[in-house]
Structure 1
Amino acid sequence: MSNFVLIPGGGSGPGYWSLLEAELRRRGHGTIAVDLPYEDEKAGLEEYADAAVTAIGDRRDLVVVAHSYGGFTGPLICDRLPVELLVFVAGMIPRPGENPGDWWQNTGHEAALRESHLRDGRDPDGQDAYALFLHDVPRDIADASLEDSRDQADTSAKAPWPGQALPNVPTRALICTDDRFFPVDFMRAVVHDRLGITPDEMPGSHMPMLSRPAELADRLEFFRGA
């Protein structure tokens, strides 16, 4: 069995992993939903990695699951601890020396997002959090996840990613075909460009751990055993 290290996306607490944690624990796995110091003005990516390593402690058989902005933290853990597998889930894949704040322009995210909204008949300037991130999540679960959000300081977005390279560990990228924030064609291109692999795909919004926790657990178990 594995210990799944769950790294939250920007401005998020660990609570939105709870449904996935229940699924993985039911199957006999351990989980560590990391609470990153997003609100700390003094904390950058190194400090985020410190928090994750502290939360992991002496546990091993690690599978790091990095969601969205957590993609800038997940690989750093792999440089510090023996990690068996790194999985980006709708993840921002960094390059050495790249500021997270520059990732959006470097990848062409704004243009891709606007094109996707217009193509699908959505107002590109009128999307709230429910419509953009949580459109397939039951409202009570979506509300609870937003209540666990953080006011993220911008410290981590301004400093270069400190990794020398992406870690030399088995790596998968899982993207969501109904993601309105990271459109699927955009993510296919990012994954191919930055990892040189074809991403795995599943249905769902930007938050599959809330809308499809059992299917996400299936995917993670499959990656672990592949």
Structure 2
Amino acid sequence: MLIHGGGDSGWAWHLLEAELRSRGHDTVAPDLPSENASAGLDDYAEAVTTAVGDRRDLVVVGHSYGAFTAPLVADRLPADLLVLLAGMIPAPGERPDDWWEATGCVRARQDAGLAGIDDPFESFYHDVPRELAEEAMRRERDESPRVGDEPWPLKAWPDVPTKFILCKDDRFFPADFFRGLARERLGVVPDEISGGHCVPLSRPDALADLLVGYLKH
């Protein structure tokens, strides 16, 4: 179950889906209703659970902003594993719009010299083939303002085994920042993958290997 990040769509996962399917796994990667300005976190989670249908043996993966939705899905469905990929780990009651300051992300980006990188081809897609990066930009979607203003509704993290994957060459979220946040909020040491923020497009094979490897332990 693959949940895309902010401004993105299920298309962002298409290369990873092909890799996972070649390894014998079913995949679902719906578009969240982000272009609906009245949609909230519950609507995002409902869109995912509807797409899952009656599937079982679920691995829920949330990328970036999708980390606010992924735990809600894992809390509602019989998930075996929850994986956050460069995910914005929420805290109970935290508004997504407040996350940046509350976690120290703004300062971390400044300290790492990343705050001034405004070109998405440099911040998000610097290691993605240019043609794919341009297609991703063409497919960029709006994000519901209601989601950013809603307190994250869970009172505690779902009782589901959780993994965190950070991207070592991420120019949007510094790797050291996520190393600290994953320990602080999840009590886990992140797994690390080479590549920038959008590894489902730049390194889908390596990401598939990592995800499938979790199922063997």
Superposed CA deviations along residues 110-144 of structure 1, whole A, max 9, x for unmatched, are 11111112xxxx7x424311100110000001111
Aligned-residue sequence identity (percent) comes to 52
TM-score, normalization by structure 1: 0.94
Q: Which residue of 2 aligns with 1:91?
A: 87
Q: Which residue of 1 aligns with 2:111?
A: 115
Aligned structure 1 segments of 4 or more residues deviating by more than 2 angstroms? 124-127
Pair 1:45-2:45 in alignment? no
- Equivalent-residue separation in structure 2 for 1:61 and 1:196 (angstroms): 24
Q: Which residue of 1 aligns with 2:161?
A: 170
Show the 5 A alignment for 1:99-138: 99-117=95-113, 124-138=115-129
In angstroms, what is the RMSD of aligned CA positions?
1.0
Show the 5 A alignment for 1:56-205: 56-117=52-113, 124-205=115-196
Pair 1:54-2:45 in alignment? no
Pair 1:220-2:211 in alignment? yes
Pair 1:23-2:14 in alignment? no
> Which letter maps to 2:94?
E
Query: What is the Cα deviation at residue 154 of structure 1?
Result: 1.0
> Which letter maps to 1:114?
Q
- Equivalent-residue separation in structure 1 for 2:172 and 2:127 (angstroms): 13
Superposed CA deviations along residues 75-125 of structure 1, whole A, max 9, x for unmatched, are 0011111000000000011111000111100011111111112xxxx7x42
> Which letter maps to 2:178?
M
Provide structure 1 residue ranges, at least 5 long, that are not aligned to the other structure: none
- Equivalent-residue separation in structure 1 for 2:60 and 2:30 (angstroms): 11
How many pairs align?
217
Partner of 1:217, secondary structure, is helix
Superposed CA deviations along residues 33-69 of structure 1, whole A, max 9, x for unmatched, are 0210111111111110000000001111110010000
